[in-house]
Homo-oligomer: A and B are copies of this chain.
Amino acid sequence: MGIIEEDLFDLAELFKVFGDSTRIKIIYSLIDGEKNVTNLVEDLNMSQSAVSHQLRILKTAKLVRGRRDGKAIFYSLDDDHVKAIFEKGLEHIVHG
């Protein structure tokens, strides 16, 4: 497993996506299970626009994925790594 400079760049980009309060709240909210945008807006108490913008960033980074059901779009964490990274970070917080 040879790590090249590009991997380190990508890694920084990944953590950059985790490094925002709004996006972290979205990820935390989705650990419970999938939620649509309206649910998330209520959960975070933020504007629908702000949440949608951040969902797009999370989706582009392949951290969440969306599934349409009628008018609503339900988002969920894309894979188990997302939760794992979240939890590893949390460990560092609570043991600090």
Contacts and interface: CB of A to CB of B under 8 A. Distances in A.
Interface residues of A, number: 37
17 contacts: A7-B93, A8-B21, A8-B24, A9-B21, A11-B18, A11-B89, A12-B18, A12-B21, A12-B24, A13-B19, A14-B92, A15-B18, A15-B19, A16-B16, A19-B19, A82-B92, A88-B88
A63 to B, nearest CB: 9
Q: Give the secondary structure class of A's interface.
A: helix
Contacts of A86: 11
Q: How many copies does the complex hold?
A: 2
Interface of A: 1, 3, 7-21, 23-25, 28, 62, 79, 81-82, 84-86, 88-96
A62 B12 contact: no
A12 B7 contact: no
What 5 pairs between A and B have smallest CB-CB spacing? A16-B19, A15-B18, A15-B19, A81-B92, A19-B19
